[in-house]
Amino acid sequence: MRLIKVLPMLLTGMPCWSATSVISAPERSYVHRMWQIEDGLPQNTVTAVVRTRDGYLWVSTLGGLVRFDGAQFYQPPLSQEARGAFQRITGLMLDAAGTLWVATEGDGVWRMNARTHQVEQIPALRSTSVRSMVFDGRNRLWVATAEGTLKVLEGGEVRGPPAGVGLLDTTVLGLALDPKGTLWIGTGTGLWRAQNADLSDFERVRVIPSEQIWSIWPDGDGSVLAGGDGGHLWQLSGGTIQYLPEGAGTVTSVVRDRRGGVWTGTLDGLYLFTGEKWTRIGPQEGLEFVRFLYQDPDGDLWVGTNGAGLHLLREAAFRVYDRTDGLGSDQVLAVTEDRDGSILAGANCGPVGRVDRDRAEALTEIGPRDADCVWSLLRSSDGTLWIGTWGAGLLRAREGRTTTYGPESGFPDSVVVALFEDRKRAIWIGTISGGACRMIDGRLSRFRVEEGLPNNSVRCFAQDRGGTIWIGTDSGLATYRDGIISPHGGNSGLKSARVRSLYVDSDDLLWFGTYGGGLGLARDGRLDVLTAANGLLDDVVSWIGEDRLGFFWLTGNRGVYRIARRELLDYFEGRQTGVYPAAFGVADGLKTIECAGGFQPAGVVDRAGRIWVPTIRGLACVDPANIRTQRAPPASIDSILINGEIRREVANLTLPAGRYNMEFRYSGLDLVASDKLTFRHQLRGVDPDWVEAGSRRSASYASVPPGSYEFVAQSHGPATDWGMPSRTIEISVRDYTWKIWWVQLTAALTVAAAVYLLGKGRQVLLHRREMEKVEAARQLTAGILHEFRQPLQVVRTRLDILTVRGLPVEDASAALNELSALLENLERIQSLSDLRTKDYAAGDTIADLKGQREKR
Amino acid sequence: MRRLLIVDDDVAIRAALKELLDLAFAASIGSGELLIDTAADGEEAVELATDHPPDLMIMDVHMPPGIDGIEAFHRLRDRRNGQPVRTLFLTGYGSAGNVSERLADAIQLGAIGYLLKPVPLDDLRRRVEQALGLGTGTSSG
């Protein structure tokens, strides 16, 4: 029998999580992360970055080369010579086959197998100081040396340009190859190019002055961006020049992002040009002396700095507007869409704000006094702006005039927390303690507990297709139809009846969110709920919305999340036992996960399909269509420990006979939100199913016996499904020699005789033990039967009494028939317990026992 | 007047059996002609049956923690100088352990038989009629 126990996690290097922040730029936000020595980076000056095809990021620093998986920096073991050379890396690059190439200062060019970490120095380039290198379409390596020479590595041999080519007269600072095969060369005397990367056909680009060109970005359309001294950025198509803000200094690196924005790294920091203006990005976050920029295959921007570590900027799914953008307050409450498509936002103790085409402003001319807070907003179909406040009642703003409805004018409450317009253009007003009001044509009707409301605190309204108005209160739901308020019959069954949100979906189903009782669905007179116990992120549901992709969006105290509507219906219709929300957080651009709620509207889906939700740190907006893949990154097995010996080369293994302690170390290659990943793993042959590992990144097995095994791991992100499984590692532990069949056969024949001789005596012993076991089982069976028979006697007698009384004879007879069937089963069990020990012998089967019984 | 004694440690069974037998024999014996007593354990049964010997005792076998029904039968028989009380045993245990052997001994000494719980009304009625001389049921042990 196998005895395998999963050991506690043993990690030589614990994951490190750097701080995540959000940086706002024009029309977009970026999630920013930074890693420095404290986070595991060997050194704070980062000289190059490249991402290999397996998803790892390779980072060179003045302290050496490391591999990064989003959580841990791993320094591969290297020869002393390579270790020394890799302290002075000037460039990293991949060839067409995915091999990692490393350029150094003084030690030439090296080639590295990113999987096995085997390195090899290129003999023909030994001792070269490399300033820049690039592969062309024919997989030739172009190398610019610190001395200003240009070399080409082809077939293991190095060639230089033909004699007489003027390039040799100047310093080469940078190289780039465009998709059409033109090689661009930045030099100390301007920009040069070689059509078709032909060494004999160099020409200087005359439109650019003879100044130092340090950085080149070839666009796919033939245009080229070239960065020079003094903050000059040239765009070659059309010969335009952009001047960076004064003081930016030399443009060390330039990248055009997928939205067309131009990023430039300079000696003075990072700048973004979005077509209108330059914006300096992240000076407070340490982005000052930028050595280079690297845009990875996912479009994420990596920034290497001089002394300030490694930085990452990923465009965030959410854009958050706050005071810094022009809103009057960071604490946003009610939010609604205006008639022109702009978004209006109420604030906690501040003016109403507006966001229109990425511009935010505070509308100081409308709204309550400063001390009053806007808890509800509605632009009704007649153009009136209705403002519900905490303390100043209801305001009606139209055509420059504002009318106030408060207790002093007979309005029932000074706190208005919900506003809604029904299809008859009646305005519904929910108050904190004065019930609900309905205003139509200037006439106000009031509904309170006396009129049928479950509670006078009214938080939200909705209207279904039949015209019924649904009202959410602190004591459950009510409906309004034909002038009558009716409390819902299912309110008493709710764990929390404090209704905070209502939503009638595209199929006319009414959904409701509660404070503490989860998400509910009202159907067929019933109120069913889904809570955190079945996968809901939060039992507080402040807002419910639906996007165009089939997802419900929910907010609460624990953030914004979405769940497929199909999944919710599957739960409520009993087809699945839980739901799996995709949650969004700071790594997605939110400045906090805590959303505001308790009022209506607490969120809106605008006409463009974007989701707007109020948070306590700004108004957040997300376009569901722009959310990146919902699939977690693939898991990767980094190393295997066999009996404590580490094997970095992760490959299938065949081990000699024996028992082994095995540890598998794996990671998920999410370079931004790696700390949010959870994992599961399985060692097939040992684990019958996946083992949920949480955030643990290793799996240990003790004393694994001979056999065939397969190990696989998988990761799961907060807003994703399970990702691709890792590669499967097959491990075969050979069987012991004595377990080979012919050895076993020989041994068996040898032992057979001795076994035969011992057999008789052993049989006697076994028989006695067997009889003891049978008697114990018989006693147990009889005891169980007794426990059945006692209550059955009462049931039976009571049924007999009914029969004797004659009422109701049919029911009693049916029950007696059922009882008779049960009794027959009991009799079958009884037939076994009635056997006596002496009636049978060791080895008897059940059939034998029954036979004995029948004979008796 | 006929006297029955029902002995069972389960109060629900005692009450239900009493009600059933009252109903079942009210017509054949006549109102006021059948007196049914109950006892909750073996000791109480011995005392009651000593003071007021029943025409039939319907007694559970297993009644912890006191003496069981078979022991009560023997003690009563001893008190009556070897004269047994007509006793019908009820048991939920079947014949586990040495119960069946002891029941067989008791039947040899004058008990009229035993029935397995839950007891069908027809079986019970037949045994009672037989014991009280009300019908022509067949004997079985």
Domain co-membership, A731 together with A795 = no
More confident residue, A560 or A260: A560
Nearest CA in chain B to A831: B94
Domain co-membership, A640 together with A578 = no
Q: Which domain holds residue A510?
A: 495-606+617-622
Q: For B94, which of A785, A803, A819 is closest by C-beta distance?
A: A785
More confident residue, A739 or A545: A545
The answer to whether the Cβ–Cβ distance between B23 and A797 falls below 8 Å is no
Domain co-membership, A222 together with A113 = no
The pLDDT score that the predictor gives to residue A726 is 84
The pLDDT score that the predictor gives to residue A842 is 41
Q: Is A630 on the interface with B (CB under 8 A)?
A: no
Q: Is B21 on the interface with A (CB under 8 A)?
A: no
Give a yes or no: residue A397 inside a domain. Answer: no
Give a yes or no: residue A586 inside a domain. Answer: yes
The answer to whether the Cβ–Cβ distance between B121 and A795 falls below 8 Å is no
B98: number of Cβ within 10 Å: 10
Domain co-membership, A560 together with A693 = no
Q: How confident is the model at residue A365 (pLDDT cuts 50, 70, 90)?
A: confident
Decide: residue A656, CB within 10 A, 0-12 exposed, 13-18 middle, 19+ buried.
exposed
What is the mean pLDDT of the segment spanning A627-639?
A: 75
Domain co-membership, A166 together with A301 = yes
Inter-residue contact A755 to A737 (CB < 8 Å): no
Torsion angles phi and psi, residue A72, rounded to 5 = -130, 145
Q: Is A807 on the interface with B (CB under 8 A)?
A: no
The pLDDT score that the predictor gives to residue A3 is 32
The yes-or-no verdict on residue B137 having pLDDT over 50 is no
What is the mean pLDDT of the segment spanning A567-579?
A: 92
List CB contacts (< 8 A) between B118 and chain A. 789, 792-793, 795-797, 819, 823
Q: For A804, which of B23, B92, B119 is closest by C-beta distance?
A: B23
Q: How confident is the model at residue A222 (pLDDT cuts 50, 70, 90)?
A: confident
More confident residue, A200 or B85: B85
- Longest CA–CA separation in chain A, Å: 125
Domain co-membership, A115 together with A200 = no
The residue among A781, A786, A792, A800 with the most chain B CBs within 10 A of its CB, best to mutate, is: A800
The pLDDT score that the predictor gives to residue A578 is 86
The pLDDT score that the predictor gives to residue A46 is 96
- What is the token pair recorded at A668? 């998920």
Q: How far is A522 from chain B (nearest CA, A)?
A: 45
The residue among B59, B117, B123 with the most chain A CBs within 10 A of its CB, best to mutate, is: B117
The pLDDT score that the predictor gives to residue B138 is 35
Nearest CA in chain B to A817: B120
The yes-or-no verdict on residue A9 having pLDDT over 50 is no
The pLDDT score that the predictor gives to residue A484 is 95
CA distances from A459 to A178, A374, A429, A433, A477 (A): 60, 14, 9, 10, 10
The residue among A780, A796, A817, A820 with the most chain B CBs within 10 A of its CB, best to mutate, is: A796
The pLDDT score that the predictor gives to residue A342 is 96
The pLDDT score that the predictor gives to residue A368 is 61
Distance, in Å, from the CA atom of B95 to the CA atom of B105, rounded to the nearest integer, reads 13
Q: Is A789 on the interface with B (CB under 8 A)?
A: yes
Q: For B96, which of A793, A800, A833 is closest by C-beta distance?
A: A833
Domain co-membership, A75 together with A131 = no
Lowest pLDDT segment from A208-212, A698-702, B2-6, B81-85:
A208-212
The pLDDT score that the predictor gives to residue B139 is 32
More confident residue, A747 or A172: A172
Nearest CA in chain A to B26: A804
Q: Is A819 on the interface with B (CB under 8 A)?
A: yes
pLDDT in tens, A724-769: 788 889 999 988 765 555 556 665 666 665 556 566 556 656 666 7
pLDDT in tens, A406-418: 988 889 999 999 9
Fold of B1-52+65-94: Rossmann fold (3.40.50)
Write out the E strands in A629-756: 635-642, 645-647, 653-655, 660-668, 678-684, 691-694, 698-704, 707-716, 729-733
Nearest CA in chain B to A805: B23
Torsion angles phi and psi, residue A126, rounded to 5 = -55, 140
pLDDT in tens, A833-851: 454 444 444 444 444 444 4
Q: How confident is the model at residue A855 (pLDDT cuts 50, 70, 90)?
A: very low
Inter-residue contact A639 to A655 (CB < 8 Å): no
Nearest CA in chain B to A802: B20
Strand order of the sheet with strand A190-194?
A172-177, A183-187, A190-194, A202-204
Q: How far is B47 from chain A (nearest CA, A)?
A: 25
What is the mean pLDDT of the segment spanning A572-585?
A: 89
Q: How confident is the model at residue A136 (pLDDT cuts 50, 70, 90)?
A: confident
Cα B103 to its chain centre, rounded Å, is 13
The yes-or-no verdict on residue A17 having pLDDT over 50 is no
Q: Is B23 on the interface with A (CB under 8 A)?
A: yes
Question: Measuring CA to CA, which residue among B42, B78, B36, B75 is closest to residue B60?
Answer: B42
The pLDDT score that the predictor gives to residue A627 is 83
Domain co-membership, A314 together with A195 = yes
The answer to whether the Cβ–Cβ distance between A793 and B13 falls below 8 Å is yes
Q: Is B120 on the interface with A (CB under 8 A)?
A: yes
Length of chain B: 141
The pLDDT score that the predictor gives to residue A5 is 34
Give a yes or no: residue A758 inside a domain. Answer: yes
The overall average pLDDT reported for chain A is: 84
DSSP letters for B83-126:
-PPPEEEEESSTT-TTHHHHHHHHHHTT--EEEESSPPHHHHHH
Inter-residue contact A304 to A49 (CB < 8 Å): yes
Q: Is B27 on the interface with A (CB under 8 A)?
A: no
Question: Measuring CA to CA, which residue among A372, A312, A315, A380 is closest to residue A347?
Answer: A372
Q: Is A796 on the interface with B (CB under 8 A)?
A: yes
List CB contacts (< 8 A) between A781 and chain B. 96
Question: Measuring CA to CA, which residue among A37, A33, A55, A38 is closest to residue A46?
Answer: A37
Write out the E strands in A381-507: 385-390, 394-398, 401-405, 416-421, 427-431, 436-440, 443-447, 458-463, 469-473, 476-481, 484-487, 499-504
Q: How confident is the model at residue A808 (pLDDT cuts 50, 70, 90)?
A: low
Question: Measuring CA to CA, which residue among A40, A77, A71 is closest to residue A55?
Answer: A71
The answer to whether the Cβ–Cβ distance between B119 and A793 falls below 8 Å is yes
Domain co-membership, A840 together with A706 = no
Of the candidates A686, A717, A739, which is a domain's last residue?
A: A739
CA distances from A25 to A313, A321, A324, A604 (A): 11, 11, 11, 23
Distance, in Å, from the CA atom of A527 to the CA atom of A646, rounded to the nearest integer, reads 57
List CB contacts (< 8 A) between B27 and chain A. none
pLDDT in tens, B45-74: 999 999 899 999 999 998 888 899 999 999
Q: For B94, which of A800, A803, A830 is closest by C-beta distance?
A: A830
List CB contacts (< 8 A) between B92 and chain A. 785-790, 793
Q: How confident is the model at residue A812 (pLDDT cuts 50, 70, 90)?
A: low
β-sheet bridge partners, residue A89: A104
Q: How confident is the model at residue A54 (pLDDT cuts 50, 70, 90)?
A: confident
Domain co-membership, A74 together with A140 = no
Q: Is A831 on the interface with B (CB under 8 A)?
A: no
Q: For A797, which of B17, B100, B116 is closest by C-beta distance?
A: B17
Nearest CA in chain A to B115: A793
Q: How confident is the model at residue A286 (pLDDT cuts 50, 70, 90)?
A: confident
The answer to whether the Cβ–Cβ distance between B96 and A801 falls below 8 Å is no
Grouping H, G, I as helix, E, B as strand and the rest as coil, residue A171 is coil
List CB contacts (< 8 A) between B94 and chain A. 782, 785, 830, 833-834
What is the mean pLDDT of the segment spanning A313-327?
A: 90
The pLDDT score that the predictor gives to residue A276 is 74
Cα A699 to its chain centre, rounded Å, is 22
Nearest CA in chain B to A796: B118
The yes-or-no verdict on residue B132 having pLDDT over 90 is no
The yes-or-no verdict on residue A4 having pLDDT over 70 is no
Q: Is B104 on the interface with A (CB under 8 A)?
A: no
Of the candidates A690, A707, A739, which is a domain's last residue?
A: A739
What is the mean pLDDT of the segment spanning A434-439?
A: 96
List CB contacts (< 8 A) between A801 and chain B. 16, 19-20, 23
Task: Please give the DSSP secondary-structure letter assigned to residue A197.
Answer: G
Torsion angles phi and psi, residue B88, rounded to 5 = -110, 120
Distance, in Å, from the CA atom of A617 to the CA atom of A598, rounded to the nearest integer, reads 17
Number of domains in chain A: 5
Give a yes or no: residue A350 inside a domain. Answer: no
What is the mean pLDDT of the segment spanning A594-618?
A: 94
Q: Is A790 on the interface with B (CB under 8 A)?
A: yes
- What is the token pair recorded at A85? 């050379």
Q: For B94, which of A790, A819, A834 is closest by C-beta distance?
A: A834
pLDDT in tens, B31-43: 678 889 999 999 9
ipTM of predicted assembly, 2 dp: 0.85
pLDDT in tens, A79-127: 999 999 999 999 999 998 889 999 999 999 999 998 888 899 999 998 8
The yes-or-no verdict on residue A488 having pLDDT over 70 is yes
Q: Is B13 on the interface with A (CB under 8 A)?
A: yes
pLDDT in tens, A441-485: 889 999 999 999 999 999 999 999 999 999 999 999 999 999 999
Q: How confident is the model at residue A7 (pLDDT cuts 50, 70, 90)?
A: very low
Domain co-membership, A39 together with A55 = no
Amino acid identity, position A587: A
As a whole-number percent, the residues of chain A with pLDDT over 90 amount to 42
Q: Which residues contact A821 (CB under 8 A, 6 or more apart)?
A: none
**B100 — alpha (psi -120 to 50), left (phi > 0) or beta?**
alpha
What is the mean pLDDT of the segment spanning A182-201?
A: 80
Q: What residue ranges do the domains of chain B occupy?
A: 1-52+65-94
Q: Is A782 on the interface with B (CB under 8 A)?
A: yes
CATH code of the domain in which A72 resides: 2.20.25
The pLDDT score that the predictor gives to residue A167 is 55
Strand order of the sheet with strand A232-235?
A213-218, A224-228, A232-235, A240-243
Decide: residue A851, CB within 10 A, 0-12 exposed, 13-18 middle, 19+ buried.
middle
Distance, in Å, from the CA atom of A245 to the CA atom of A247, rounded to the nearest integer, reads 6
Q: How is chain B split among helix, strand and coil, in percent rounded to 5?
A: 45, 20, 40
Domain co-membership, A135 together with A284 = yes
What is the mean pLDDT of the segment spanning A145-174?
A: 73
Of the candidates A573, A594, A622, which is a domain's last residue?
A: A622
Q: For B16, which of A797, A805, A823 is closest by C-beta distance?
A: A797
